[in-house]
Amino acid sequence: MSYLKEYNAEFNDSSDSLYSGDTVYDEKYHGSIDDIHLMSDESKRLKVDEFAKKDSINQHNLLLKIDFHVVPPFAIVFFLAYLNRNFGLLQIEEIYSSLGITQLQFFMSYVAFFIPYIIGQFFSNNLLRFIKPHGLLFLGVLLCGATNLGTGFVKNYRTFVGCQFLHGLFQSSTEATIFYILAHYYSKRESLPRFSAIYSTSCLAGVFATFIAYIVDSKIVDKVNLTEGWRYLLIIIGAFTIGMSVIVFFTVPDFPEGAGFLTDKESVFLIRKLDIYNGKSGYEVKSTFGDIFKMIYDPVILIPALASIGIAYVTLAYSLFQPVFVLQVIGVSVSHSNEYSIFPWITAFVWSNLGTYFYNKWSNRYRCGFFFFNVVLTIIGGIMMYSVQSSTLPDNLKYGGCFLCAMGAFTAAPILICWSSTNLGGHLRKSVGIALQISCSSIGGLIAIFAFYDDDERYQRGFFVGFAAIILSVVCVVTYLLVIRWANKRKRTQKYKQEFFAKSGIQKLILGDKNPSIDYLY
């Protein structure tokens, strides 16, 4: 019997006592579930080191191995998801005249995208009970690319809207699934640089899509004297995505228990390690829709989801309207506007990765500080961009606002997702929390559509709503800080510990991060 099978057999033998409320759980590999959860952080680290020594596991090399096999594939999927969502470029590629539609009709096609996307994201993680992660993400990427490719050939508005609906439906299986699987490979203190690295590929997607648009305008439209550059843009991106779906199928890993790149000993060690640091996942525990909806009202889950609306408003509004904004500010041709749009994306990518890496290295525990710093950058950038019609502010400073806004928003977003999701423990709570946050962030995109629709040249309403959205995020994050600080203090009381450990084994698994020994990170 292999090492992993022996571990699973031991788990199955002990599952009945676990579910009946017995506190003894898998003692051969873990010790008592209560004993482990009562350990201090230092004791947990020593316990993990003990397991590593016993199994001859080099933890540094294992972490590098996981990084190599996990981060790049998920980064590719995230990159492709955002590459196929660069709707803003279509506005400057003659789509209005080509389909004979108004700006309102074009924006309503966004609604057709976001409605299935929002609903699908919330339930996407439940599909992982029936299909493996690499299969689910492969299908999502493949069908998303095929839909975009087909959109390039539509002849009327009705078909265009139908394609956008399918696009949103197929893409709904990406973001929540990515971050949920990622949380099964890394502890809280390892997650932030990896989350940011994956999320920052949305900036590279902006660069790549803008570059394709630049090639289309300068090499195809101008040379052949065509007026439908948006079709070539969608066809090229769709074909590229379909090709990349093959790579996704063969590289995206499944859960650690079934990851082909890990040996049995490495899989067991990783599961042990995360059980000690984050609590037992309870993936095998069945749940109902009633259980899911009950958790939505938990402040630790709901408040970060509400905070994500404001941050996502900025990131999605920037993606949608930055090409038009640059076209107005610089006053150049469409192809040169695409060229100018590339540089803020590159800067945001570099800042997000370097900033989170060094901040995580210097201050692993307190994540709120770096979040607020990037929010300030976003506000300053927004103010500079809002002054687009001001005669006193030079154009280069208005253009500079794009850099600050992109740097701040596209760094604050992954911090918030990583911070809140890694604070959650247990399969059900983590699954619901991540899915709800991604769904709520898409609501920010819907709000941005209507806030900027039919606005004056200064986008006054859109910017004012954006500033209000940022304030909402700040208020929610401050409230979240107060809630988790209070929860940490409450967990240390003897009354809370007695009440928690009096619960049955299955109840403790479902409650996850409610365990008194698991502190929420600030």
214 vs 265: which has the higher pLDDT: 265
The predicted model scores a pTM of: 0.86
- The answer to whether residue 149 scores a pLDDT higher than 90 is yes
pLDDT tens across 330-361, in order?
555 555 666 777 888 899 999 998 888 877 77
Q: What share of the chain is helix, strand, coil (3-state, %, to 5)?
A: 80, 0, 20
94 vs 255: which has the higher pLDDT: 255
Residue 257 is predicted with a pLDDT of 78
Alpha-carbon distance 156 to 170, whole Å? 22
- The answer to whether residue 86 scores a pLDDT higher than 90 is no
Q: How confident is the model at residue 92 (pLDDT cuts 50, 70, 90)?
A: low
Enclosing H/E stretch for 371: helix 368-386
Residues 6+ apart with CB under 8 A from 375: 311, 408, 412, 470, 473, 474
Alpha-carbon distance 332 to 340, whole Å? 10
Among 12-16, 323-327, 405-409, 417-421, the minimum mean pLDDT is found in: 12-16
Give 54-102 as a DSSP string: HTT--HHHHHHHHHHHHHHHHHHHHHHHHHTT-THHHHTTTHHHHHT--
Alpha-carbon distance 172 to 161, whole Å? 17
Residue 429 is predicted with a pLDDT of 84
Task: Provide mean pLDDT across the span 137-146.
Answer: 94
Task: Provide mean pLDDT across the span 307-317.
Answer: 91
Q: How confident is the model at residue 26 (pLDDT cuts 50, 70, 90)?
A: very low
Residue 104 is predicted with a pLDDT of 81
